[in-house]
Chain A
Amino acid sequence: MFTTQNYVVASSLDEAYELNQKPKSTVLGGCGWLKMGRRMMSTAIDLSKLGLDQITEQDEYFALGAMVTLRQIETHPGLAAYFGDCIAECVRHIVGVQFRNCATIGGSIWGRFGFSDPLTLFLSLGAEVVLHKAGVVALADFVNMPYDRDILVEVRLPKRGQKAAYVTHRASATDFPVLAVAVCRTADQTVCAVGARPQRAALVVREDGEAVQAFADRCADTLTFSSNLRGSAEYRAHLCRVLVRRAALAIEED
């Protein structure tokens, strides 16, 4: 469990941002991951009283406040109506309902964890993040940015008529994925995001006229994979070939 000298429930984003400029300050999300470490903080910054726990639908996008829980995302009727089953599918394997009532989308996306299910799907959907100082940043850029002292305020899922499928392979139910794949089609292009390689999710764009199997093979051949206790690099590359094909076919059938 982490320890902290000061615990501040922020009354504004400006206050939270100022507090977070100190190197040993930490912004708290759902704390599911943070509690597993032994970090010693000077100030723990709690954003839970800033109204960031709402999902709102705008003309161009859905806005997910940083403190929205994974369970809110899983059960939100507007997200399900627009994006279909992929939203619920990307979080429903994460531990259990009780955990998903604690874990926040801000914590999951800010962490840019390799194992993150939402990061993988949201990357394929063309999501954006809103940072308090840096403003709106494409998730595709944010995913490779170094950690800094900014604060993630909101995650935006643009409404571009996406059709997406999300598939994973897990060694056991509720565990981290061995590999996670999201394939998303819009009017302009089809992209695939592959996460849990176990590095952070990365995108591959499908070429015009490229056959499904060729696309799946290219994903497996061009992305890098590594080994850990859940699987070897070779196993992950093999899974990638299978899961990309499966997800791509799923959205073609629809």
Chain B
Amino acid sequence: MKISYTLNGQKVTDEVNPAQPLTEYLRSRGCYSVKRGCETANCGLCTVLVDGRPVLSCSTLTARIDGKVVETMEGLQSEAAEIGTYLADEGAEQCGFCSPGLIMNIIGMTRELKNPTEDDIRNYLAGNLCRCTGYVSQLRAIRKYLAEKEEA
């Protein structure tokens, strides 16, 4: 099946396996920031943005991105690096395996919510599991990132 879409700002036309999970397809195109995690739609590790909204690429069929705008961390490197710095400064990543999905969802959240409260942040990021940090340091880093973003 032939699809056309935009990947990280570049228009792409490709012959694809329509029922292939988007995780696998994007990795085949070199987007290795998109990680395989639980592959049961629970952990948030495979998060990418489709038309600006965060989705689980493990649960999105490749056919469904036809005509859409897809963003992965490869296309959002400066924003991702900035958030990553806040996470590192607060000790909010240990093994770091969940960070790509978390950062993509934080970017999705900042696009959708203005001045989110602590509860808003917790609710929005509830689908990103981390087995190292216990989330407290992550929330601290996100609050600092959002506060300094607001000041700027």
Contact = CB atoms under 8 A, between A and B. Distances in A.
B59 A99 contact: yes
A95 B128 CA distance: 9
B99 interface: no
A2 B19 contact: yes
Contacts of B53: 71, 101
A34 to B, nearest CB: 9
Contacts of B126: 95-97, 173-174
A48 B3 CA distance: 14
A239 to B, nearest CB: 22
17 contacts: A1-B19, A2-B19, A28-B61, A31-B59, A35-B59, A36-B40, A46-B18, A46-B63, A48-B64, A95-B127, A96-B105, A96-B125, A97-B108, A98-B54, A101-B50, A101-B55, A174-B42
Interface of B: prevailing SS: mixed
A26 to B, nearest CB: 11
A96 B55 CA distance: 9
Given A2-B19, A48-B64, A32 B127 contact: no
Nearest to A96: B127
B19 A7 contact: yes
B21 to A, nearest CB: 7
A7 B1 contact: yes
Given A7-B1, A174-B127, 20 more contacts: A1-B19, A4-B19, A30-B59, A36-B41, A46-B61, A92-B123, A95-B42, A95-B126, A96-B44, A96-B128, A97-B108, A98-B54, A98-B55, A99-B59, A99-B127, A101-B50, A101-B54, A102-B55, A102-B56, A174-B42
Contacts of B128: 96
B63 A7 contact: yes
B60 interface: yes
B5 interface: no
B33 interface: no
A3 interface: yes
B53 to A, nearest CB: 5
A32 B60 CA distance: 8
Contacts of A2: 19
A31 B66 CA distance: 17
Interface string B59-82: 111011010000000000000000
Contacts of B145: none
Interface in A163-178: 173-174
Top 5 A-B pairs, shortest CB-CB distance: A96-B127, A7-B18, A98-B54, A98-B56, A101-B55
A183 interface: no
A174 to B, nearest CB: 6
B59 A102 contact: yes
Contacts of A46: 18, 61, 63-64
